[in-house]
Amino acid sequence: MEPFIRDQIIAVLKFVPFHVVAGHLKKQSSPEVEQARRKLGGFIKGICHPSEDYAQIRGAGIEWNRADIAFPFDKEGNLREDYLNWKEKVRRYRENGIRIFAVTPYPRTFIEYGIDPRTPEGEARVREIAAFLLTDLKGIAEGFQITNEMGIPHFTKPLNMREAARFIGVQLEAMYPLRGDILIGYNSAGPQGDLHALMRPWHKYCDYVGIDLYIGCFAPVGNSFSTLDMMLRYLWSMTKKPVILMEFGYISAGAPKTPEEKRAILRQYGVNSEKEAREKIDLVMENMKTVAPTFYNRVTKNASSPEKRADYLFQIDTKNHLYRELPRGVVVRKCPHTPEGQANFYRTVFPRLARHPFLLGAFVYAWKDKDSGCYACGQIDCPTETRWGLVDIQHNEKPSYYAVRDALMNIR
């Protein structure tokens, strides 16, 4: 998500007038929305990356697991053991009363297994695999999201946006006549108007369009519940498709660092200021290999040339990882980044979500705090990707667990 923050900010500003119009639309439902609701039997109450403590999950009012599908075939076309194990795992959720919304693999994973979606032969195989997954998982998965967050560079590469839209579209087209009561669609990270515009020819194969939204956690703008409302209305107004909030959440720890705390961090990299770091970026990167090797790999992957690395390192989102902080302004009012502030976020947001007639449901990100460090920078004390959970590292229920439970009880 992080290289994309600037684009989301621009999109928020760009589509404010559109939202004003959308907010006054009298009709915010459709026969398609009502049909999808009937298939679902009510509002999707979902979670990302749950444990297998089914009773604890159900105790929070959670009814759906959004699960990433393991790639099904090896390079020789044989079913992979990983896929079969994944299938049995999600079957256990179903047997324990938790429904499955399955996410198909990324373009890069297809390429890893010898299938290039940009070639005619590769595209034909992509279609075959989409049809296989839908057929093979009938009775287990009740919804499919085709890949994840196209437009985010590290998810989309090596495809460009037009290729990514087609990659999604051909899978939807292959699944559509086979789907029965299964819902199929795709998602975007934030507003992503270019993706949704490219997907227009394929919307006839979509039962829904998804969006991932995170307010108060990444950038110091747009951090209000009204922004979240605006983005949902924007997507409905643009596509006229039922909408699912495929990912959203709130961090339960993190605060701004003081100037001295920041200087202490910079000294770990051999410099005393951001100005010196820009001037000595090679020294910074050399020290980063030892201090934060995961972060080093991320920076060098996303900024291949040395002259671009300083800019990348000090852009809004990456800088948060450098300093292991949530800066001033990266917060929702009355929802500090504390366990109780996280709970208040969910107490406030769910009643608002339930007021959107076109919204089919939402998936909370995520079930559990991480003890393995931030996936983006690898640092244990980086709050950005480590403190999203409704339960803590030891699976103890946080205040947000009970806030979600109580809020979901009032949504049908």
CB atoms within 10 A of CB 28: 17
CB burial of residue 189 (10 Å; 0-12, 13-18, 19+): buried
Distance (Å, whole) CA 73 – CA 122: 14
- Give tens-digit pLDDT for 49-64: 999 999 999 999 999 9
The letter for the amino acid at 254 is: G
Q: What percent of the chain has a predicted confidence (pLDDT) above 70?
A: 94
Looking at the predicted structure, is the pLDDT value of residue 3 above 80?
no
Q: Taking a C-beta distance cutoff of 8 angstroms, is the pair 45, 61 a contact?
A: yes
Distance (Å, whole) CA 403 – CA 406: 5
Q: Which two tokens stand for residue 22?
A: 């959308």
Q: Which two tokens stand for residue 135?
A: 């057929």
Helix (H, G, I), strand (E, B) or coil at 368: strand
Which range (11-20, 158-167, 224-233, 376-385) has the least confidence?
A: 11-20
Looking at the predicted structure, is the pLDDT value of residue 138 above 70?
yes
Looking at the predicted structure, is the pLDDT value of residue 397 above 50?
yes
* 23 to 6, 28, 53, 225, 385: CA distances (angstroms): 24, 9, 40, 14, 33
Looking at the predicted structure, is the pLDDT value of residue 20 above 50?
no
Average pLDDT over residues 205-229: 95
The letter for the amino acid at 64 is: W
Q: Which two tokens stand for residue 35?
A: 């049909």
Q: What does the pLDDT read at residue 342?
A: 98
Hey, what domains does the chain have and what are their CATH numbers? 2-254+331-409 (3.20.20.80), 259-323 (no CATH)
Looking at the predicted structure, is the pLDDT value of residue 408 above 80?
yes
Looking at the predicted structure, is the pLDDT value of residue 1 above 90?
no
Looking at the predicted structure, is the pLDDT value of residue 4 above 50?
no
Q: Taking a C-beta distance cutoff of 8 angstroms, is the pair 235, 209 a contact?
A: yes
Average confidence score pLDDT of the chain: 93
Q: What percent of the chain has a predicted confidence (pLDDT) above 90?
A: 88
DSSP-derived secondary structure for 336-366: -SSHHHHHHHHHHHHHHHTT-TTEEEEEES-
Distance (Å, whole) CA 376 – CA 127: 32
The confidence band for 5, taking pLDDT boundaries of 50, 70 and 90, is low
Q: Which of 112, 190, 102, 180 is nearest to 146 (CA)?
A: 102
Of 199 and 304, more confident: 199
The letter for the amino acid at 221 is: V
Q: What does the pLDDT read at residue 307?
A: 83
Average pLDDT over residues 10-29: 57
Distance (Å, whole) CA 148 – CA 102: 11
Q: Taking a C-beta distance cutoff of 8 angstroms, is the pair 150, 106 a contact?
A: no
Q: Taking a C-beta distance cutoff of 8 angstroms, is the pair 214, 1 a contact?
A: yes
- Give tens-digit pLDDT for 177-203: 999 999 999 999 998 889 999 999 999
